[in-house]
Amino acid sequence: MTSRKHVCHIVPPYLMQRLDPGRLDQDQGFRAARSEHLTRVLTQRPAPEAGSTAAEAGDWTVYTAGNGTDLPGEKVRAAGEPESGDETVDEAAAGITGSLALFEEVYGRDSYDGQGIEVVMTVHYDRNYANAFWDGTQLVFGDGDGEVFQRFTKAVDVIGHELSHAVTEHTAGLVYQGQPGALNEHISDVYGSCIKQRLLGQSADEADWIIGAGLFTESVQGVGLRHMLEPGTAYDDPNLGKDPQPAHMDDIYEGPDDNGGVHINSGIPNRAFALAAKAIGGNSWDGAGKIWYAALTNGAVTTDTDFAGFAAATIAEAGEHVDAVTTAWSEVGVTPASGAPGAPGPDGESPTVVRVRRSGGFLGRTSEGSVELAPGDSQAATVRDLLANAGPSKPKGADRYIYEFEVDGQRTVVHEGDLSPELRELANRMLEQ
């Protein structure tokens, strides 16, 4: 999957605008400089020696920007090295260690790309920088402004939140706009919270479900950036305003700000996860966390999946907890997409949705069609076998059709000259509907 890189900030733009109206414009300028500098640094960085292990090559490295904006900055500490004595550096080290441990030990994922890539972090970014972000290549943390925000490494769920953006980028690749963008933010809050709860040894019932607890200074009337269980209640402050997150689809934000409300509307799926985790019981990372991770990584969730599609994907992975997950989505007003891959059948089993997209031909036209095969339908296995055995396909002649099949979230491109009679019959049936 081609990753979609975007800068994901923990502090939503509507808060940044209240705190420092010029900061948003300034950040835009930083991004171009960051990209150019980081590309230069990474291309000059020596590769690990052949035969070295992931730990020897470095699971993570913490750099300091020294309150400047050049990235990644000066190396301070790497995996396996002792504490540096810099509180911020050592908080980042402990946070990323716990975050990577969750993904590896619970979900079997080796770093954010699944292949053990080193995690690069920079602390002490800029002066009075009240934010943390993932820029598509590394994690960055500011020291806060001292008036509203303290240092951003102080809250371990912020570190987990930013790493989870990288995981999402390398799995479903949810676009950072509208409902898919809100799901992107939601996934980061889910695993940021799971990481915090795991390190504290808390059950779903014991957790506070607050994202960024401890970030605010004592002058702020609030408990954190977001409240997953009770969206809209995290803060109510004369300077910051009131937490705008909705807890139900009836109140969803539909305006243009915040990339279509990616930080605002994440409150809706956040509440669904917290409700599901509490209903399932035990700890959230083993219960609802495993269901959400399976939905994120099994191919059913794609770049433009909305709340309804994601709900269907989680319900399809819920197994014995299907009632708890279904009820959680219902309580926030999300109806699972019946036509989405993995939407459950009447007995809780998942139907197989097969789609075809035919393009090209002399006229260059595109046609689409789909069919839903009921659970237990023998043709579902036949379709999977046909596509699995289609093999690599290359154009055979000009002006011929190109068929793109999708089944169980997996896509296969077959050129017309390679179509088996069975696949042709299936495609024609779907396109005629």
Among 382, 372, 361, 389, smallest CA distance to 337 is for: 372
Query: How many residues can be counted in the chain?
Result: 433
Among 340, 338, 311, smallest CA distance to 327 is for: 311
Domain-embedded: residue 2: no
Domain-embedded: residue 184: no
The residue out of 129, 146, 174 marking a domain boundary is 174
Question: Is 214 in the same domain as 317?
Answer: yes
When pLDDT is cut at 50, 70 and 90, the band that residue 106 belongs to is very high
Q: Output the pTM of the full model.
A: 0.72
The residue out of 331, 360, 394 marking a domain boundary is 331
- Span 351-395, pLDDT tens digits: 778 888 888 776 667 888 888 776 656 666 777 777 777 767 777
Distance CA 207, CA 200 (A): 9
Question: Is 109 in the same domain as 247?
Answer: no
- Supply φ then ψ for residue 358, to 5 degrees: -105, 125
Domain-embedded: residue 341: no
pLDDT (mean) for 152-178: 96
When pLDDT is cut at 50, 70 and 90, the band that residue 349 belongs to is low
Q: What is the mean pLDDT of the chain?
A: 84
- Span 52-84, pLDDT tens digits: 333 333 499 999 999 999 999 999 999 999 999
Catalytic residue among 161, 165, 227, 263: 263
Domains contained in the chain, number: 3
Question: Is 315 in the same domain as 374?
Answer: no
pLDDT (mean) for 114-138: 94
Residue with the two structure tokens 């793109």: 404
Give the range of the structural domain holding residue 317, as residue numbers without chain letter. 193-331
Question: Is 116 in the same domain as 214?
Answer: no
Using DSSP bridges, classify how beta strands 401-407 and 352-360 pair: parallel, antiparallel or unpaired: antiparallel
- Is 124 noted as a catalytic residue in this protein? no
pLDDT of residue 4: 43
Question: Is 204 in the same domain as 253?
Answer: yes
Domain-embedded: residue 344: no
Catalytic residue among 6, 124, 161, 162: 162
- Span 193-202, pLDDT tens digits: 999 999 999 9
Structure-block tokens of residue 43: 């291309």
Helix (H, G, I), strand (E, B) or coil at 142: strand
CA–CA distance from 422 to each of 366, 390, 394, 397, 418 (Å)? 21, 11, 19, 21, 11
Question: Is 272 in the same domain as 375?
Answer: no
In terms of DSSP H, where are the helices of 20-86?
Answer: 23-44, 54-57
Question: Is 199 in the same domain as 291?
Answer: yes
Distance CA 141, CA 65 (A): 10
Structure-block tokens of residue 342: 């993995």
pLDDT of residue 45: 36
Assign residue 101 the CATH number of its domain.
3.10.170.10
When pLDDT is cut at 50, 70 and 90, the band that residue 396 belongs to is low
pLDDT of residue 110: 96
Name 359's bridge partners.
402
DSSP 69-108: --SS-EEEEETTPPP-S-HHHHHHHHHHHHHHHHHHHTT-
When pLDDT is cut at 50, 70 and 90, the band that residue 38 belongs to is very low
Assign residue 316 the CATH number of its domain.
1.10.390.10
Domain-embedded: residue 294: yes
- Span 218-238, pLDDT tens digits: 999 999 999 999 999 999 999
Ramachandran sector of residue 157 (left: φ over 0; alpha: ψ -120 to 50; beta: rest): alpha
Domain-embedded: residue 345: no
When pLDDT is cut at 50, 70 and 90, the band that residue 50 belongs to is very low
pLDDT of residue 370: 83
DSSP 214-248: T-B-TTSSBS-SEESSSTT-SBEETTTEE----SS
Domain-embedded: residue 187: no
Distance CA 266, CA 246 (A): 8
Residue 165 CA, distance from chain mean position: 5
Distance CA 430, CA 350 (A): 20
Distance CA 328, CA 386 (A): 37
Question: Is 22 in the same domain as 168?
Answer: yes
Distance CA 353, CA 372 (A): 4
- Span 322-343, pLDDT tens digits: 999 999 999 999 999 874 444 4
Contact 7, 259 (CB under 8 A): no
Question: Is 204 in the same domain as 273?
Answer: yes
- Is 254 noted as a catalytic residue in this protein? no
The residue out of 112, 142, 174 marking a domain boundary is 174
Q: Please return the burial class of 19, using the count of CB atoms within 10 Å of its CB with bins 0-12, 13-18 and 19+.
A: middle
pLDDT of residue 341: 44
- Span 269-308, pLDDT tens digits: 999 999 999 999 999 999 999 999 999 999 999 999 999 9
Domain-embedded: residue 186: no
Q: Of 93-97, 161-165, 283-287, 405-409, which range is least confident? A: 405-409
Question: Is 23 in the same domain as 170?
Answer: yes
Structure-block tokens of residue 409: 């979230």
CA angle 94, 163, 300 (to 5 degrees): 140
Question: Is 256 in the same domain as 381?
Answer: no
Question: Is 90 in the same domain as 126?
Answer: yes
- Span 16-28, pLDDT tens digits: 666 665 554 544 4
Among 353, 349, 297, 354, smallest CA distance to 318 is for: 349
pLDDT of residue 327: 96
Structure-block tokens of residue 60: 């993570």
DSSP 3-17: -----EESS-HHHHH
pLDDT of residue 393: 73
pLDDT (mean) for 188-213: 98
